Amino acid sequence: MTVTTSSYPKARRIKFRVEQHDSRDKYFVDGDMVFSHFVAGLSGGFPPGEESFIRSVRRVADKVTDPLLKKRVTGFVGQEAMHGQEHRRLNDKLVDMGYPIEWLDSPEQQQRMLALEQRLPALVHLAMTAAAEHYTAVLAQRVLTSDEIQSIPAEPEFWNLLNWHALEELEHKSVAFDVFRAVGGTEATRIGVMLAMFALTVPLTYGSLAVSLWRDPQARRRPLRVAREAYSLFRGPIFRGLMPELAKYMRPGFHPDHIDTEALLAHWQDELFGENGVLVDHLK
């Protein structure tokens, strides 16, 4: 696919009013304990994860010679940095509400992450980013496509933040992938790294969610409710059919742009940031 000048990802300077949410209203996704813990955990992992994505691209950035790809890298870095900043503000609120997510972004965890990255070859680190970007693109596409997901009641400003993040994930979904290819990343490395991450997806998702719920005294007192809500979450529109979509990445020759999200992007760019966009007043 030819990338035109109009399709560079561009960072938007934006601020969400996450502090307006009443911290006593803990289960902000439809009053659902499990769903709320799941979203809080996801948000908790974004800032350190996105910083690692940025570092992986910067490690090889001096080898990128194509001027267009360089501009796309700048847009990618700017968008991910902004996501980290706003998710950190949301995460402070979530910690206030009682979610045990602080450790994910702690200095100790950052040190562990940096030490791991230093042991990884640059192309493996970048392949992890490209694979993770496929996860975020698949989730973003689901969130922005599904009326069933969009109609889940939740704190509106948290929804705004998630929709903005989802939109930008689609805008830059192929940047890390194209950098990986441009600096000599092979199909064997790309697919091998994804295979390892794919194998860890279910145990990590279930495990971290279980720990998060176990640390919530209210959830511990309501095991039947937790079981019912967990069943609904994993049978629901976020997870239904998710693994086969993630697995598409492992096909030889796969490229993120093979999944056409152009019309979806155009719709949401207008919805959020067009002339009457609902988030125009959030831009700084």
Contacts of 92 by beta carbon, 8 Å cutoff, 6+ apart:
none
Q: Which is nearer to Fe ion, 50 or 155 (CB)?
A: 50
Q: Which residues of the shown chain bind Fe ion in the complex (CB under 5 A)?
A: 80, 83, 136, 169
Are 128 and 189 within 8 A, CB to CB?
no
Min separation Cβ 134 and Fe ion, Å: 10
Distance (Å, whole) CA 43 – CA 84: 9
Q: Which is nearer to Fe ion, 136 or 208 (CB)?
A: 136
Instruction: Compute CA distances 253 → 2, 139, 186, 187, 249, whole Å.
Output: 16, 21, 11, 8, 9
Min separation Cβ 224 and Fe ion, Å: 36
Min separation Cβ 49 and Fe ion, Å: 8
Sign of CA dihedral 237, 130, 207, 245: positive
Min separation Cβ 34 and Fe ion, Å: 24
Q: Which residue is nearest to Fe ion (CB)?
A: 83
Min separation Cβ 126 and Fe ion, Å: 13
**C-alpha 61: how far from chain center:** 22
Min separation Cβ 94 and Fe ion, Å: 17
Distance (Å, whole) CA 235 – CA 233: 5
Q: Which is nearer to Fe ion, 32 or 169 (CB)?
A: 169
Q: Residue 283 pairs with which residues in a beta bridge?
A: 14
Q: Which is nearer to Fe ion, 234 or 245 (CB)?
A: 245
Q: Which is nearer to Fe ion, 32 or 80 (CB)?
A: 80
Distance (Å, whole) CA 45 – CA 254: 27
Q: Which is nearer to Fe ion, 82 or 154 (CB)?
A: 82
Distance (Å, whole) CA 102 – CA 68: 38
